[in-house]
């Protein structure tokens, strides 16, 4: 995308975001404008009081009206500044919260298939630092940009009525600041973009290195990986330093213009004051106002890097927002009302084709039925398309052609949102917490008996009860302290607690020793009663337990029906299927 295109997109994004907190932003800008008027009023009153008491021998009591005006303006200034800052911060925080929620919703709609297109580290840094970068932009930059217009114009108007020379000096030097900002702005934006790029790569590499620490160590590549992360950190440091350099340069040039201008006003006024051609009141007022003329410009400059940072962050946010929403069906499922009462009889694929990219079709014209109380196994070599078919059945990947839908006992199609689907992935994730937390995950008011029953069916109860803390045993993010087979059985119990109509398992016995694999297979077989169970596997013992086997090869799916005599029986936990 061209730079102009980027700028237009960013402007559109900023306008759309500002609308989410326009009330608070309006209060912030409005209070800022009132505070500008109070400040000017306060200085006008002060100049009168000082001039009257020092040069015209008036008492303070005689000046009580002006003193009141001064105090009211002072209090008004403090109050409205405070209100303006608070309203700006509120607007910034609201926008950050709404962007983060919208991004999380979008990632949920994109689903795991689409989310894989971006490195996890990048998504994390966008959700964290990227979204946070918007807060100073709306809390400080937007109000200070409005103040930069209001206060200098107000001061110029007052100075214009007081002294022509000072008006000319301020009017000529003031606009130099925005011009200087525009100049510096272009290079600053590039530096910010570079900094963000380095940060995203660094976050991604760091996460990858943490995840793959075991492999790196075994291959003797730990030092190489550390060196690469060091180089990335160094590149990020240098990019940050160039951003800082530009920020210092901006404020130094601003200070220079501001000091020069104030000095000019002071010299010109001072010489005329000595010559007796101007009065003290005007000189004092203009000298009070001159620094305030540049103050909002200084504040604006200080918050300008917040703008550059936010623009760079908006680009990163747009990258995440550009992920296609593949998992539309998941979002439509009513979480509060699981549809156990709706009898899902079968899941049907009709002329279904699936692809990740339009020109690479993974599955062609699939026509299959997955019936209730049956275990269906998807078989095929690695890369044949088993997980792809599961993704379509789960609603994580929309069919490229054809359709996939559920039917009730009368053959009536059911909406996908009516399906209660549970999934046990190849590598189930456990979160840091107790075993009970991991099993319930998102469910509330789960009775202990229900928990035990799910664990029993998944053949997990025995090992859980053997642990000193039982269901209250703490397990780590990646199932620390548990074997792979135990993690799989926990994941199966977690899925069963959802009372799913459709249970989908991806390679449930991969990497397991024969005994663990047998226990998992038997547990799966126990789950079949009353629900549709679909397993992707190339393990013979799981296939032996299946009622229906679908062979996937070269993108085509064919049904391998087992002879009636060999139909798998219903087993109890721990029992083994006859091969
Ligand atoms: N997220 C993805 N984006 C693009 N292509 C993908 C994606 N996931 C899988 N593929 C491709 O789709 C094809 C089928 O992959 P799939 O994961 O469905 O195979 P599989 O049978 O489950 O393999 P395995 O047994 O190794 O898990 C492969 O050629 C793979 O390269």
Residues 6+ apart with CB under 8 A from 206: 121, 229
Residue nearest to ligand 1 atom 7, measured at CA = 356
Q: How many domains are contained in the chain? A: 2
| Distance of alpha carbon 351 from alpha carbon 97, whole angstroms | 43
Which one of 111, 112, 362 would you pick to mutate in the ligand 1 pocket, going by the greatest count of ligand atoms within 8 A of its CB?
A: 362
Q: Is the CB of 383 under 6 A from ligand 1?
A: yes
Q: Is the CB of 356 under 6 A from ligand 1?
A: yes
Atom number of ligand 1 nearest to Cα 384:
21
pLDDT tens-digit readout, 127-164: 988 899 999 999 988 888 888 888 899 999 999 888 88
Residue nearest to ligand 1 atom 24, measured at CA = 382
CATH code at position 399: 3.40.50.300
215 CA distance to ligand 1 middle (Å): 22
Same domain? For 53 and 165 the reply is yes
Q: What does the pLDDT read at residue 85?
A: 93
Same domain? For 150 and 296 the reply is yes
Q: What does the pLDDT read at residue 564?
A: 53
Q: What does the pLDDT read at residue 336?
A: 47
Residue nearest to ligand 1 atom 16, measured at CA = 385
Residue nearest to ligand 1 atom 19, measured at CA = 383
| Distance of alpha carbon 501 from alpha carbon 497, whole angstroms | 12
386 CA distance to ligand 1 middle (Å): 8
Domain termination residue (choose one: 321, 353, 383): 321
Same domain? For 404 and 303 the reply is no
- Residue 548 forms part of a structural domain: yes
356 CA distance to ligand 1 middle (Å): 9
Residue nearest to ligand 1 atom 30, measured at CA = 383
Sign for the CA dihedral angle at 96, 97, 100, 102 comes to: negative
Residues 6+ apart with CB under 8 A from 387: 426, 506, 536
177 CA distance to ligand 1 middle (Å): 56
Domain termination residue (choose one: 273, 288, 321): 321
Residue nearest to ligand 1 atom 26, measured at CA = 382
Residue nearest to ligand 1 atom 8, measured at CA = 388
User: What does residue 431 show for φ and ψ, rounded to 5 degrees?
Assistant: -100, 160
387 CA distance to ligand 1 middle (Å): 6
Strand-pairing partners, residue 382, are none
Q: Is the CB of 384 under 6 A from ligand 1?
A: yes
DSSP letters for 204-243: HHHHHHHHTHHHHHHTT-HHHHHHHHHHHHHHHHHHHHHH
Same domain? For 386 and 255 the reply is no
Atom number of ligand 1 nearest to Cα 552:
21
Could you tell me the residue range of the domain that residue 255 belongs to? 3-321
Q: Is the CB of 385 under 6 A from ligand 1?
A: yes
Same domain? For 304 and 394 the reply is no
Buried b (16+ CB within 10 A) or exposed e, 425-440: beebebeebebbebbb
Q: What does the pLDDT read at residue 550?
A: 92
389 CA distance to ligand 1 middle (Å): 10
Same domain? For 349 and 387 the reply is yes
Residue nearest to ligand 1 atom 14, measured at CA = 385
Q: What does the pLDDT read at residue 330?
A: 46
Q: Is the CB of 116 under 6 A from ligand 1?
A: yes
Atom number of ligand 1 nearest to Cα 390:
18
| Distance of alpha carbon 335 from alpha carbon 328, whole angstroms | 14
Residue nearest to ligand 1 atom 25, measured at CA = 382
Which one of 110, 120, 359, 386 would you pick to mutate in the ligand 1 pocket, going by the greatest count of ligand atoms within 8 A of its CB?
A: 386
Q: Is the CB of 388 under 6 A from ligand 1?
A: yes
In 10 A of CB 561, how many CB atoms?
8
78 CA distance to ligand 1 middle (Å): 63
Q: What interhelical angle do 448-457 and 484-497 show, nearest 10? A: 130
Domain termination residue (choose one: 321, 352, 384): 321
Counting as low any pLDDT under 50, the low residues of the chain are 1-4, 330-340, 565-568, 570-571, 573-574, 576-579
Same domain? For 284 and 186 the reply is yes
The secondary structure element, H or E, covering residue 475 is: strand 474-475
411 CA distance to ligand 1 middle (Å): 32
Same domain? For 316 and 348 the reply is no
- Residue 470 forms part of a structural domain: no
Q: What does the pLDDT read at residue 377?
A: 92
- Residue 47 forms part of a structural domain: yes
Q: Is the CB of 387 under 6 A from ligand 1?
A: yes
pTM, to two decimals: 0.67
Both ends of the chain: CA-CA distance in Å?
59
Q: Is the CB of 111 under 6 A from ligand 1?
A: no
pLDDT tens-digit readout, 357-393: 877 889 999 999 999 999 999 998 888 899 899 999 8
Q: What is the largest distance, in Å, between two alpha-carbon atoms of the chain?
A: 119
Q: Is the CB of 539 under 6 A from ligand 1?
A: no
Q: Is the CB of 380 under 6 A from ligand 1?
A: yes
538 CA distance to ligand 1 middle (Å): 15
Same domain? For 373 and 302 the reply is no
- Residue 260 forms part of a structural domain: yes
Residue whose entry in the numeric block shows the structure tokens 């009636």 = 564
Same domain? For 350 and 303 the reply is no
- Residue 571 forms part of a structural domain: no
- ipTM score here? 0.96
CATH code at position 25: 1.20.1560.10
- Residue 413 forms part of a structural domain: yes
Atom number of ligand 1 nearest to Cα 389:
18
Q: Is the CB of 427 under 6 A from ligand 1?
A: no
Same domain? For 276 and 366 the reply is no
- Residue 512 forms part of a structural domain: no
- Residue 513 forms part of a structural domain: no
Query: CA 337 → CA 195, 334, 419, distances in Å?
Result: 46, 6, 11
Same domain? For 286 and 363 the reply is no
């Amino acid at each position: 995308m061209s730079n102009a295109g980027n700028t237009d997109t960013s402007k559109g994004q900023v306008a759309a975001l500002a609308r989410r907190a326009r009330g608070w932003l309006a209060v912030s800008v409005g209070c800022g404008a009132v505070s500008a008027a109070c400040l000017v009023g306060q200085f006008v009153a002060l100049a009168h009081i000082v001039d009257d008491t020092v040069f015209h021998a008036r008492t303070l009591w005689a000046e009580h009206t002006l003193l009141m005006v001064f105090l009211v303006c002072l209090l008004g200034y403090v109050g409205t500044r405070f209100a303006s800052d608070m309203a700006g911060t509120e607007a910034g925080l609201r926008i950050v919260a709404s962007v983060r929620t919208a991004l999380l919703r979008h990632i949920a709609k994109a689903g795991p298939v689409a989310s894989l297109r971006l490195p996890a580290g990048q998504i994390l840094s966008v959700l964290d630092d990227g979204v946070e970068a918007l807060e100073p932009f709306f809390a400080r930059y937007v109000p200070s940009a409005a103040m930069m217009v209001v206060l200098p114009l107000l001061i110029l108007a007052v100075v214009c009525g007081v002294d022509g020379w000072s008006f000319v000096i301020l009017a000529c030097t003031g606009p130099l600041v925005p011009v200087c900002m525009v100049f510096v702005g272009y290079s600053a934006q590039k530096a910010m973009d570079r900094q963000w790029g380095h940060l995203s790569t660094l976050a991604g590499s760091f996460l990858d290195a943490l995840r793959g620490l075991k492999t790196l160590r075994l291959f003797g590549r730990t030092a190489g990986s550390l060196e690469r992360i060091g180089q990335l950190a160094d590149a990020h440091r240098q990019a940050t330093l160039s951003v800082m350099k530009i920020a210092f340069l901006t404020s130094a040039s601003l200070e220079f213009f501001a000091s020069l201008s104030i000095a000019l006003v002071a010299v010109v006024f001072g010489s005329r004051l000595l010559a007796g051609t101007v009065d003290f009141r005007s000189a004092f007022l203009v000298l009070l106002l001159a620094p305030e003329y540049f103050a909002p410009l200084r504040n604006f400059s200080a918050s300008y890097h917040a703008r550059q940072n936010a623009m760079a962050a908006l680009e990163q946010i747009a990258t995440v927002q550009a992920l296609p929403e593949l998992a539309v069906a998941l979002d439509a499922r009513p979480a509060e009302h699981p549809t156990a009462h709706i009898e899902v009889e079968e899941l049907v694929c009709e002329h279904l084709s699936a692809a990740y990219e339009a020109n690479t079709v993974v599955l062609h014209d699939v026509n299959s039925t997955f019936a209730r109380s049956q275990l269906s196994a998807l078989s095929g070599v690695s890369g044949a398309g088993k997980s792809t078919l599961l993704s379509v059945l789960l609603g994580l990947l929309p069919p490229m052609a054809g359709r996939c839908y559920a039917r009730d006992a009368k053959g009536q199609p059911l909406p996908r949102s009516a399906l209660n689907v549970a999934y046990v992935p190849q590598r189930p994730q456990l979160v840091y917490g107790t075993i009970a937390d991991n099993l319930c995950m998102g469910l509330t008011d789960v009775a202990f008996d229900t928990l035990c029953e799910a664990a029993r069916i998944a053949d997990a109860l025995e090992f859980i009860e053997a642990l000193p803390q039982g269901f209250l045993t703490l397990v780590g993010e990646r199932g620390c302290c548990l074997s792979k087979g135990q993690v799989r059985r926990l994941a199966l119990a977690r899925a069963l607690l959802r009372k799913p109509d459709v249970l989908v398992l991806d390679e449930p016995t991969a990497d397991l020793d024969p005994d663990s694999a047998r226990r998992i297979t038997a547990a799966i077989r126990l789950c079949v009663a009353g629900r549709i169970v679909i397993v992707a596997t190339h393990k013979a013992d799981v296939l032996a337990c299946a009622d229906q086997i679908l062979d996937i090869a070269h993108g085509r799916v064919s049904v391998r029906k087992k002879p009636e005599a060999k139909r798998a029986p219903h087993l109890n936990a721990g029992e083994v299927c006859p091969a």
